[in-house]
Amino acid sequence: VLQRLTLLQQMENKFLDENKEKTSQIQAAETAFKRNLSLLKDIEAAEKSLQTRSHSVPSPEVVSLETLYWASVEEYIPKWEQFLLGRAPYPIGVENENEAENTTRNEAQ
pLDDT mean over 67-93? 87
- Number of Cβ within 10 Å of residue 24's Cβ equals 10
* Per-residue three-class SS string for the chain: CHHHHHHHHHHHHHHHHHHHHHHHHHHHHHHHHHHHHHHHHHHHHHHHHHHHHHCCCCCHHHHHHHHHHHHHHHHHHHHHHHHHCCCCCCCHHHHHHHHHHHHHHHHHC
Query: For 42-65, how does the pLDDT look when each residue is reduced to its tens digit (9 = 90+)?
Result: 999 999 988 887 777 778 998 999
> What are the domain boundaries of the chain?
1-56, 59-108
Query: What does the pLDDT read at residue 87?
Result: 85
Cα–Cα dist 34/67, whole Å = 48
Q: Looking at the predicted structure, is the pLDDT value of residue 75 above 70?
A: yes
